[in-house]
Amino acid sequence: MIHVEGLTKYYGVSIIIGENTYSKVKGRFFTRELDSVLVKGKTKSIKIYELRKEDYDRRWDEALALYKKGEFARAIAVFRKVNDEPSRVFVSRCSELIRMKVRKSEWNGVFEHTVK
């Protein structure tokens, strides 16, 4: 079992759930896909989700899709419109990926967290 609770501070959200929990609550609670991550000590990535009190700005989905495709500059523009804590994390991350000159062909859309 992968514990994702420790990632809440990183993303600036109250509750993060993994894929197993998401499959049980999907459609019963407000959720949004937050990221695909590889956590320290694991070899397989998972999707993580934010459990929310209310629905979210659907531009988030567009921005996340652009990010996953490696279209970092376009993703930044949309994340800035969403303008919440997780989107600011992604603006910073995309800016760093651009600075590092990560090519779309090299990008798999998975972020590796180095702390548990």
Q: For the segment 8-49, what is each residue's pLDDT rounded down to a tens digit?
A: 999 999 999 999 999 999 999 999 999 999 877 778 899 999
Q: How many domains does the chain have?
A: 1
Q: Can you give the residue range of the structural domain that contains 22?
A: 5-112
Please report which helix (H) or strand (E) contains residue 16, including its range: strand 16-17
Nearest to 8 by CA among 110, 90, 112, 86: 86
What is the share, in percent, of the chain residues with pLDDT greater than 90? Answer: 83
Average of pLDDT values for 54-80? 97
8 Å CB contact between 1 and 80:
no
Exposure on the CB side of residue 13, measured as CA atoms within 13 A: 27
Q: What's the whole-model pTM score?
A: 0.91
Please check the confidence at residue 1 and state whether its pLDDT lies above 60: no
